[in-house]
Chains A and B, each alone.
Chain A
Amino acid sequence: MQRIDPVTPIVQIDNLSFSYEQNSILTDVNLTIHNLDSICIVGPNGGGKTTLIKCILGLLTPDQGTVTVFGGSPEQAHLRMGYVPQYASFDPYFPISVMEVVCMGRLGGSISGKYSTRDKELATAALEKVDLLKYAAHSFAALSGGQRQRVLIARALATGCDLLILDEPTANIDHTAETRFFDLLSGFNEKMTILMVTHDVGFASTFFKRIACVNNKVVIHPTSELTGELIQNMYGGDLQMIRHDHRCGEGGHSHD
């Protein structure tokens, strides 16, 4: 694995704009992400969250501006990025074993795509980390939503990535699985930078260091600034919300 230079940002985005068939999705985005940062990307549907991470991954090319990842182009850095895509995009009946899914994280090492013993060891270790090693030979389709999500995380971990990018990983899992998921994630954050798209702002305030609000433009806030007003601004309309970690008294409110 390559050493990480502490001065160079992991991700540097300058003046990025992206449009799709004349619709502007992202305008003049600037973003710097440093090593071991953890950023949560929030915003309304169609606001450009997924587009932003796909530009970082090099899956989409911006119309204007530059994206630099680990000091080079996203294509040069793609083997150092682990990606957990939106779970809903998978064919639920696809005949594939859990181990085969995780091994996919090791693809790209050889011309034929055969996995070496080392590839298989890394895949096994990744499955162990998400506590699913005993399901290695099982069918991916037969697992529960939360388990499948962890398999996809294991696939990203098997790459040996320094930057983990997740797109709505908690959308299809229940509350218990979600709590467990964030425990897992905070362990990873000690060694790698994490970038995650989510709808769920509740957990964001407890785990992430910074929040990126994406709605055509991108605005970064430290997590401590997350208030109802801010959320209302970024969703751009009336939003009913109940915070459970606040106590409101006559002299204003205080945090737990």
Chain B
Amino acid sequence: MTDFFQALADPNLPFLRYALISGLLASIPFGIIGSFVVVRRISYIAGAISHCVLAGVGLGLYLQQAVGIAWFTPFIGAILAALLAAVILTVVSLHAKQREDSVIGALWAAGMAIGLLFIAKTPGYNDPMSYLFGNILLIGKSDLYFISILDIVVVTVVTIFYNKFLALCFDEEYARLRGLNTGLLYLALLCLTALTVVLLVRVVGIVMVIALLTLPAAIAGNFARNLWQMMLLAIVFCALFVFSGLWLSYSYDLPSGPVIIMIATALYLLVVGVLRKIRDH
């Protein structure tokens, strides 16, 4: 068990330190945006955005390696694809309320399909596994900049417009009646979600994004009296999951993403079970 802390201090193993620091810093947007996703009940929308990320990654790989556009990295592709998905989903939710879930499903699958087709046509061997299931140990120094910027953007925007976002999630119709531009607010919320999802993909991968976005917030929701308490608690839970997940995965030589998700799921089930017991008595 002490190995993990020795490894953290080992100058020859910078990747472990980066993984831990980035995981803890990333817990901030995960907790904040995750709370919005849970209370507004848009986890399926976050899932669709996440699967669209593969289309951007595939496009990035293809443009870089087959076409030779060096600056168009998979990371830039991922951000563009996630933001585009956010715009499409906002438009759909504003104009096609009845068929929203069909569009979410279509976008979800099409994102994956486009990504896989681009990857298939990219010369050389490209393994989609690290995108699908994530690898926090691949996070480098440059990712830390992105995470820090995202931290600042999410915290600033949410702090300034907290009351408006709260109204949007609690009672959208009433917010509209008070003269709020709810369409624009919803777009802003989905764009912040999209950026957070790109970061989540690095940590736990496309397939498990929804779990790390929603489980800490869902657990926090059981103890919080209002939304900002829920956000703070979700950040703490998320950081705890990333830290303990990294520790366990390092100690037992297991992939980090699934370990983080299993810890989060186990605690969620425990909390739900214990609370039900308490309420029944």
- Residue ranges of A at the interface with B (Cβ–Cβ < 8 Å): 57-59, 78-79, 81, 83, 85, 90-91, 93-97, 100-101, 103-105, 107-108, 112-115, 138-139, 155, 159
Contact partner, A57, options B163, B177, B221, B225, Cβ 8 Å: B177
Interface contact B225-A139, CB-CB below 8 Å: yes
Q: For residue A97, which residues in chain B have a CB less than 8 angstroms away from its CB?
A: 225-226
Residue from A85, A96, A115 whose CB has the most chain B CB atoms within 10 Å: A96
Contact with A along B171-199 (1 / 0, CB 8 A): 10111111110000000000000000000
Expressed in whole angstroms, the minimum distance between the Cβ of A3 and any Cβ of chain B is 21
B71 CB-CB contact with A under 8 Å: no
Q: For residue B167, which residues in chain A have a CB less than 8 angstroms away from its CB?
A: 104, 107, 113
Q: For residue A83, which residues in chain B have a CB less than 8 angstroms away from its CB?
A: 174, 177
Contact partner, B164, options A78, A90, A107, A155, Cβ 8 Å: A107
Cα-based distance from A66 to B280 in the complex (angstroms): 54
Contact partner, B161, options A100, A113, A155, Cβ 8 Å: A113
Contact partner, B171, options A85, A112, A114, Cβ 8 Å: A85
Interface contact B178-A78, CB-CB below 8 Å: yes
Residue from B163, B167, B221 whose CB has the most chain A CB atoms within 10 Å: B163
Contact partner, A95, options B162, B174, B179, B224, Cβ 8 Å: B224
Residue from A58, A83, A107 whose CB has the most chain B CB atoms within 10 Å: A107
Interface contact B39-A91, CB-CB below 8 Å: yes
Interface contact B175-A94, CB-CB below 8 Å: no
Q: How many B residues touch A, CB cutoff 8 Å?
A: 27
Interface contact A101-B170, CB-CB below 8 Å: yes
- Closest chain B residue to A138, Cβ basis: B225
A95-B221, A95-B229 in contact; A112/B178 too (CB < 8 A)? no
B155 CB-CB contact with A under 8 Å: no
Expressed in whole angstroms, the minimum distance between the Cβ of B123 and any Cβ of chain A is 50
Interface contact A108-B179, CB-CB below 8 Å: yes
Interface contact A59-B176, CB-CB below 8 Å: yes
Interface contact A79-B179, CB-CB below 8 Å: yes
B166 CB-CB contact with A under 8 Å: yes
Q: For residue A101, which residues in chain B have a CB less than 8 angstroms away from its CB?
A: 170
Expressed in whole angstroms, the minimum distance between the Cβ of A219 and any Cβ of chain B is 27
Interface contact A59-B177, CB-CB below 8 Å: yes
B160 CB-CB contact with A under 8 Å: yes
Q: For residue B166, which residues in chain A have a CB less than 8 angstroms away from its CB?
A: 96, 100, 104
Interface contact A95-B177, CB-CB below 8 Å: no
Cα-based distance from A194 to B179 in the complex (angstroms): 21
Q: For residue A95, which residues in chain B have a CB less than 8 angstroms away from its CB?
A: 39, 221, 224-227, 229-230
Q: For residue B226, which residues in chain A have a CB less than 8 angstroms away from its CB?
A: 95-97, 100, 139
Cα-based distance from A159 to B179 in the complex (angstroms): 12
